[in-house]
Amino acid sequence: MSPILAILVVAFFLYCVTISASDPDPIQDFCIPNPKFGSIKTAHLGSLPCKNSSEATTDDFVFSGMKGAGNFCDTGLAAISVNPAIFPGINTLGMSFVRADLKVGGYNPPHFHPRATEIAYVVQGSVYAGFVDSTNRVFARVIEQGEVIVFPRGLLHFLMNVGDKPATIFGSFNSQNPGLQKIPTAIFGSGIHEELLEKAFGLSHKQIGVMRRRFNPKSKG
């Protein structure tokens, strides 16, 4: 292969990687999924055809489901994730968002979003927040009401309420389907072979069983 051809191949590859690294650009002003062709909640995001733009209403572009906190889990976190499945107006616009509420001492464990960068705005409270880069360097501090932190795409990040009052955070993603993978659940709740986990983390069979029961209730390990 000639040097020029090799350069062109590499350039084309990098171009393809770049354009596939985010949601595709819309080809119309908006696309409200047409429920006549199936359920928005069960269909793959972006797979339903748009209804005629003349049938769109203002209500299609307004979402009222974030006025209060959602249901709290055992970590003291309540999260309301908003994507086109429940807010059709943002379909094909390359965005989604979340409301997260944290009880005092509550936390959102280390996790990452494989398809999106996140901007998190503290509505109220004091939150210890940060991320870890690919060199294992931690960027973290307490952020207060009115402050914003960015979590780069695909990097592990976390949140914990360190104040004496409940905290509320609004997060926004640059993808309508950012994805979510929580590290503890991915490791101990996914069925990875026990011997590997023992060697990787220096844990005993009993300790692995405890972790599996915690992060995968269906496991009897």
Which residues are annotated as part of the binding site for Mn(2+)?
111, 113, 118, 157
Pairwise CA distance, residues 73 & 85, whole Å: 22
For the chain, the straight-line distance linking the first and the last C-alpha, in angstroms and rounded, comes to 54
Per-residue exposure over 102-133, b if at least 16 CB sit within 10 Å of its own CB, e if not: bbeebbbebbbbebbbbebebeebbbebbbbe
Which residues are annotated as part of the binding site for oxalate?
108, 113, 118
- Provide φ and ψ at 7, rounded to 5°: -60, -40
Strand ranges across the sheet with 148-151: 77-82, 96-102, 167-173, 118-124, 148-151
Q: Report which secondary-structure segment, H or E, holds 100.
A: strand 96-102
Beta bridge partners of 182: 111
Q: Which residue's structure tokens are 């968002």?
A: 97
Which residues are annotated as part of the binding site?
108, 111, 113, 118, 157
Per-residue exposure over 67-82, b if at least 16 CB sit within 10 Å of its own CB, e if not: eebbeeeeebbbbbbb
Amino acid at 9: V
Pairwise CA distance, residues 62 & 157, whole Å: 29
Length of the chain equals 221
